[in-house]
Structures are given as structure tokens and as C-alpha cells.
Amino acid sequence: MRAVRCWCGELIVSDDDGALARELAAHAREAHPDDERGEDEIREHIAATAEDAPDRPPWAY
């Protein structure tokens, strides 16, 4: 599992970076449609900040 935080702080978790990019893009369209970030920026954001999600992530408690 891979995890990335949206620039708004929302945590997105998915199977791999490709799925993460799709989910972050979908979240961004829904949560902040006025945001100007494009697909390339989303991919860069994931490349720079995505992490492997542990089995028992800190946010699960």
C-alpha cells in the first residue's frame, strides 16, 4: 500500500503510485475543484511525498 497526503492534508491510500495519482486527482476535483494543479503536478507531488503505508498506520488509532 502507498499513502500520500493531499496538499490540503487529506490522506489518500492506494495500492500503488498509479492508483494513488488517480485517487488524488479524483479527490482534488471533488474537494477543491478551483485548484489549478494538473496531472503532472499531482504525479510530482506523489513522487516527492508518497510513502509505503505500514500495516498498522498511525492514523488507524
Residues that bind Zn ion in the complex, under the rule CB under 5 A: 6, 8, 10, 31
User: Which residues are 51's β-sheet partners?
Assistant: 3
Q: How far is the CB of 37 from Zn ion (least distance, A)?
A: 10
Q: At what angle do helices 17-31 and 39-49 cross, to 10 degrees?
A: 120
Q: How far is the CB of 42 from Zn ion (least distance, A)?
A: 11
Q: How far is the CB of 1 from Zn ion (least distance, A)?
A: 19
Q: Which is nearer to Zn ion, 10 or 15 (CB)?
A: 10
